[in-house]
């Protein structure tokens, strides 16, 4: 296998177009002399139908939009590569996993699920995590999420789930939010969703950055080796920057201040050379262990605890290039869990099986033609030859008279590949079964892993889950739905349910209400076959499930942004000192002052201002530093500064001040609440010291000082 790292860029370059130093032309290549005036009968007369330049321009404009994705409409993507670090040829024959150092081009797209294309990045929602590998054996898509389980067990419930979470159909409210009656009505009748609900109500659903999320293939897939043997596999992406979240109040404020927060963060990080990176890990489950666990490997509402099956790292993905054109690349990219290469195969997970139908079907309506594979971003770098022909917008000019197989007129070409020549063959699983519309009883545990997840969380994380549920259910207007949810929550953890109930001013119902129209058939209901159960888990706690104790989190501050608050007369030494200390850690200090332009320094110099208080907000930064200097007096008890600092304090961020700047902090509304042992308040009497900068950076490495907030589990 040869390194294909740049192959996709070469392939895309065929389609790139750059108007620099070129004439303006029509789509037919005719040079345009006047692009500002329609052809008219006289200067003040009516426009003429004959104006082909106007007609072409307006017609193209009228058709510029394509339907947005029915789910995951809001997203951002980037190019990069996947590099094998630990090949697994004994497990899979997939070429792109065979050789250490082998690089394969990729395009990754991250997304929210429920919101429209123009909605906020910071919705409480699952994030999509899709990667297209342009391998030498064809396209492989790993279309996952930042949460390792899903709401439902069977694909037939997907349209119901999405109808429930999308804005309500009568008034199209609310946008990009699950906090409304229809979503919780559905969930309250679908106990199988409780594990996923724990994840979605946790801070996983409000990531600090796409670059700080884990990714999961969710389903159990199969790896197939040269001998045709199969092992089960779960895919994991582990971010190099650790897994981090923002506070919920912060998320809501970011949505107003900068709804493109994640999009911009990804874009800027790549432009600045802080290339986002993840490790790809696999959990390998031998075929013989298929029925070994208390959960079913085919049930997408279950994960395999890392304590039972550790994650083995096989490679890394680096995103190092922003798209040239959002529409052409990020919008038109078409993922499909059914795009697999030899060596990777499906399991019988009924959610995955349904997905295998849905994705091609949706591209037909979204991209408009079965030729969507010819769109440059979707085009395989492995040669494509077959007898598929014609259709809307066909690009390829197939030569010759033969478009069928078998043929003799074309010498039998294109010819089938033997398995030894890389021909795809499905795993020969033996199936001997009745045709039934039923769910396996091994899928009945709806609460066991919800408990595992909840019990594994730290007190801070549990507190955030309670607050999230109070918020979400607090927005629900129908009391019966709130009560049903409290009943379900009590099956996960009674204390959790009680704490949520306090916020709702309600009482937890004594038993789980299982209403008649729960998501099962009438016969199943009558036979009591699919009763939600709690199965004890062999693993009681798992640190991999928390964000705060996650063993893979490193204390790096690389690519983080710090607000440096200044005013005229600021100490140049202080500002330069912290800026250069941050830069050494690959972090960035941004100057924020009462006005744009520049601030004068104490030694008659000037520092460029990046943002004024009007164009910046605390929620867009990871930490705040107030710089020493003569100008401090305009910052003391200044409403803008107070709001800035109060938000930073409330959102548990590191706040630093040295020299005279400490007086700004002392005048802030929260000053009386600051405790001596707060590890996130960094003060130094001497301005501009290296020791101060180091202490500030070390504190930032904790990401947030969560112990500052009121914790419902202390
Ligand atoms: Fe899906 C898009 C992930 C279940 C049907 N899905 C989509 C995307 C992601 C996922 C990340 C966005 C791809 C992109 O960036 O273009 N979906 C998942 C995961 C699931 C899942 C991890 C469960 C484990 N999805 C699922 C089911 C169905 C679909 C059960 C239908 C039966 N998903 C779709 C879709 C989308 C889609 C309608 C919309 C746009 C697209 O496919 O290309 O076909």
Banded pLDDT at 517 (limits 50, 70, 90): low
* Ligand 1 proximity of 130 Cβ (cutoff 6 Å): yes
> Is residue 703 annotated as part of the catalytic site, yes or no?
no
CA 260 from chain centre, in angstroms, equals 13
* Ligand 1 proximity of 145 Cβ (cutoff 6 Å): yes
User: Residue 469 Cα, ligand 1 centroid: separation in angstroms?
Assistant: 25
Banded pLDDT at 444 (limits 50, 70, 90): very high
Nearest atom within ligand 1 for CA of residue 300: 24
Q: What is the pLDDT of residues 562-601, one digit of tens each?
A: 999 999 999 999 999 999 999 999 999 999 999 999 999 9
* Ligand 1 proximity of 75 Cβ (cutoff 6 Å): yes
* Ligand 1 proximity of 564 Cβ (cutoff 6 Å): no
State the average pLDDT over residues 628-635.
88
The CA distance from 177 to 167, in Å, is 8
How do beta strands 277-286 and 344-345 pair? unpaired
Pick the CATH number of 561-708 from 3.40.50.970, 2.40.50.140, 3.40.50.300, 3.40.50.880: 3.40.50.880
Residues 6+ apart with CB under 8 A from 281: 235, 236, 237, 238, 311, 312, 313, 314
Residue 168 is given by DSSP the state B
State the average pLDDT over residues 406-410.
97
Residue 36: the pLDDT is 96
Three-class SS of residue 109? Answer: strand
Q: What are phi and psi of 644, to 5 degrees?
A: -60, -50
Q: What is the pLDDT of residues 92-106, one digit of tens each?
A: 999 999 999 999 999
Catalytic residue selected from 15, 21, 72, 291: 72
For the whole model, what pTM was predicted? Answer: 0.96
Looking at the predicted structure, is the pLDDT value of residue 453 above 90? Answer: yes
Looking at the predicted structure, is the pLDDT value of residue 629 above 70? Answer: yes
Nearest atom within ligand 1 for CA of residue 358: 44
Question: Which candidate, 711, 707, 710, 709, places its Cα nearest to that of 699?
Answer: 707
Nearest atom within ligand 1 for CA of residue 354: 32
User: Residue 71 Cα, ligand 1 centroid: separation in angstroms?
Assistant: 7
* Ligand 1 proximity of 128 Cβ (cutoff 6 Å): yes
Q: Which of 128, 141, 163, 165 should be mutated for ligand 1, with most atoms under 8 A from CB? A: 128
* Ligand 1 proximity of 215 Cβ (cutoff 6 Å): no
User: Residue 667 Cα, ligand 1 centroid: separation in angstroms?
Assistant: 50
* Ligand 1 proximity of 316 Cβ (cutoff 6 Å): no
State the average pLDDT over residues 394-403.
96
User: Residue 589 Cα, ligand 1 centroid: separation in angstroms?
Assistant: 38
Burial class (CB in 10 A: 0-12, 13-18, 19+), 12: buried
State the average pLDDT over residues 196-209.
98
* Ligand 1 proximity of 351 Cβ (cutoff 6 Å): yes
Q: Which of 126, 148, 262, 335 should be mutated for ligand 1, with most atoms under 8 A from CB? A: 335
Banded pLDDT at 48 (limits 50, 70, 90): very high
* Number of Cβ within a 10 Å radius of residue 92: 27
Of all protein residues, whose CA lies closest to atom 25 belonging to ligand 1? 355
* Ligand 1 proximity of 107 Cβ (cutoff 6 Å): no
The CA distance from 473 to 482, in Å, is 6
Looking at the predicted structure, is the pLDDT value of residue 648 above 90? Answer: yes
User: Residue 118 Cα, ligand 1 centroid: separation in angstroms?
Assistant: 18
Looking at the predicted structure, is the pLDDT value of residue 515 above 70? Answer: no
* Ligand 1 proximity of 671 Cβ (cutoff 6 Å): no
* Ligand 1 proximity of 339 Cβ (cutoff 6 Å): no
The reply to whether 75-378 and 561-708 are identical in fold is: no
Pick the CATH number of 75-378 from 2.60.40.290, 3.40.50.800, 2.40.180.10, 3.30.540.10: 2.40.180.10
Looking at the predicted structure, is the pLDDT value of residue 516 above 60? Answer: no
User: Residue 356 Cα, ligand 1 centroid: separation in angstroms?
Assistant: 10
Residue count (the chain): 714
State the average pLDDT over residues 686-699.
94
Nearest atom within ligand 1 for CA of residue 111: 15
Banded pLDDT at 222 (limits 50, 70, 90): very high
Looking at the predicted structure, is the pLDDT value of residue 512 above 60? Answer: no
Residues 6+ apart with CB under 8 A from 94: 135, 137, 140, 223, 341, 342, 343, 344
- Asked if 664 contacts 635 with a C-beta cutoff of 8 angstroms, the reply is yes
Looking at the predicted structure, is the pLDDT value of residue 514 above 70? Answer: no
Beta strands in 73-229 (DSSP E): 75-84, 103-112, 127-135, 138-145, 215-216, 221-224
> Is residue 553 annotated as part of the catalytic site, yes or no?
no
Residues 6+ apart with CB under 8 A from 159: none
Nearest atom within ligand 1 for CA of residue 149: 24
Structure ipTM over 0.95, yes or no: yes
Q: What is the pLDDT of residues 271-288, one digit of tens each?
A: 999 999 999 999 999 999
Q: Which of 156, 350, 359, 375 should be mutated for ligand 1, with most atoms under 8 A from CB? A: 359
Looking at the predicted structure, is the pLDDT value of residue 491 above 70? Answer: yes
User: Alpha helix (H) ranges present in 306-458?
Assistant: 326, 350-367, 448-456
Looking at the predicted structure, is the pLDDT value of residue 632 above 90? Answer: no
Looking at the predicted structure, is the pLDDT value of residue 527 above 80? Answer: no
User: Residue 340 Cα, ligand 1 centroid: separation in angstroms?
Assistant: 16
Banded pLDDT at 8 (limits 50, 70, 90): very high
Domains of the chain by residue range: 75-378, 478-528, 561-708
Residue 300: the pLDDT is 98
The mean pLDDT value of the chain amounts to 95
Residue 362: the pLDDT is 97
Looking at the predicted structure, is the pLDDT value of residue 522 above 90? Answer: no
């Amino acid at each position: 296998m040869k390194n294909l790292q740049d192959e996709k860029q070469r392939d895309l370059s065929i389609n790139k177009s750059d108007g620099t130093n070129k004439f303006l032309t029509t789509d037919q290549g005719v040079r345009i002399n006047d692009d500002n005036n329609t052809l008219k009968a006289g200067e003040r007369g009516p426009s003429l139908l004959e104006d082909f330049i106007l007609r072409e321009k307006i017609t193209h404009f009228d058709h510029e939009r394509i339907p947005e994705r029915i789910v995951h409409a809001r997203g951002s993507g980037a190019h990069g590569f996947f590099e094998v670090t630990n090949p697994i040829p004994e497990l899979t024959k997939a070429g792109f996993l065979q050789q250490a150092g082998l690089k394969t081009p990729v395009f990754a797209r991250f997304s929210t699920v429920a919101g429209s294309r123009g909605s906020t990045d910071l919705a409480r929602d699952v994030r999509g995590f899709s990667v297209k590998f342009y391998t030498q054996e064809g396209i492989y898509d790993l279309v996952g999420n930042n949460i390792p389980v899903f709401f439902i067990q069977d694909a037939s419930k997907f349209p119901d789930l999405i109808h429930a979470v999308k804005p309500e159909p009568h008034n199209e409210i609310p946008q990009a939010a699950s906090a409304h009656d229809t979503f919780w009505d559905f969930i309250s009748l679908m106990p199988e969703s409780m594990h996923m609900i724990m994840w979605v109500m946790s801070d996983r659903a409000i990531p600090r950055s796409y670059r700080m999320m884990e990714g999961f293939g969710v389903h159990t897939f199969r790896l197939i080796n040269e001998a045709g043997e199969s092992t089960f596999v779960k895919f994991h992406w582990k971010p190099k920057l650790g897994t981090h979240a923002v506070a919920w109040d912060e998320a809501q404020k970011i949505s107003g201040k900068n709804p493109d927060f994640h999009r911009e963060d990804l874009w800027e990080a790549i432009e600045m050379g802080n290339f986002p990176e993840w490790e790809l890990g696999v959990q390998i489950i031998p075929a013989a262990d298929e029925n070994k666990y208390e959960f079913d490997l085919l049930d997408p509402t279950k994960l395999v605890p890392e304590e039972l099956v550790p994650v083995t790292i096989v490679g890394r993905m680096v995103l190092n290039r922003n798209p040239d054109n959002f529409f052409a690349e990020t919008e038109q990219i078409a993922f499909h869990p059914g795009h697999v290469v030899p060596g990777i195969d499906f399991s019988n997970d009924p959610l995955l099986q349904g997905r295998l139908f849905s994705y091609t079907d949706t591209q037909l309506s979204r991209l408009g033609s079965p030729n969507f594979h010819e769109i440059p971003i979707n085009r395989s770098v492995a040669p494509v030859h077959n007898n598929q022909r014609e259709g809307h917008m066909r690009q390829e000019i197939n030569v010759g008279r033969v478009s069928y197989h078998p043929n003799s007129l074309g010498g039998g070409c294109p010819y089938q590949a033997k398995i030894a020549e890389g021909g795809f063959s499905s795993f020969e699983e033996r199936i001997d079964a009745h045709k039934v519309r039923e769910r396996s009883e091994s899928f009945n545990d709806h609460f066991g892993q919800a408990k595992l997840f909840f019990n594994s969380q730290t007190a801070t994380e549990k507190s955030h889950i309670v607050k999230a549920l109070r918020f979400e259910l607090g927005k629900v207007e129908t009391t019966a739905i709130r009560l049903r949810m409290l009943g379900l929550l009590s099956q996960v953890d009674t204390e959790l349910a009680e704490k949520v109930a306090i916020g709702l001013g309600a009482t937890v119902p004594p038993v789980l209400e299982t209403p008649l129209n729960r998501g099962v058939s009438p016969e199943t209901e009558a036979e009591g076959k699919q009763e939600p159960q709690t199965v004890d888990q062999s693993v009681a706690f798992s640190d991999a499930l928390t964000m705060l104790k996650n063993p893979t989190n490193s204390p790096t501050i690389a690519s983080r942004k710090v607000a440096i608050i200044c005013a005229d007369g600021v100490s140049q030494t202080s500002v330069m000192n912290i800026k250069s200390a941050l830069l050494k850690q690959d972090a960035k200090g941004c100057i924020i002052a009462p006005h744009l332009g520049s601030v004068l320094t104490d030694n008659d110099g000037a520092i460029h201002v990046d943002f004024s208080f009007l164009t910046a907000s605390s929620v867009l930064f990871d930490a705040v530093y107030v710089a020493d200097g003569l100008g401090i007096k305009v910052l003391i008890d200044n409403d803008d500064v107070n709001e800035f600092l109060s938000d930073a304090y409330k959102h548990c961020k590191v706040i630093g001040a040295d020299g005279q700047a400490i007086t700004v902090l002392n005048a802030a509304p929260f000053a009386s609440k600051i405790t001596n042992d707060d590890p996130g308040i960094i003060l130094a009497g001497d301005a501009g010291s290296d020791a101060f900068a180091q202490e500030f950076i070390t504190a930032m490495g904790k990401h947030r000082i969560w112990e500052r907030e009121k914790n419902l589990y202390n």
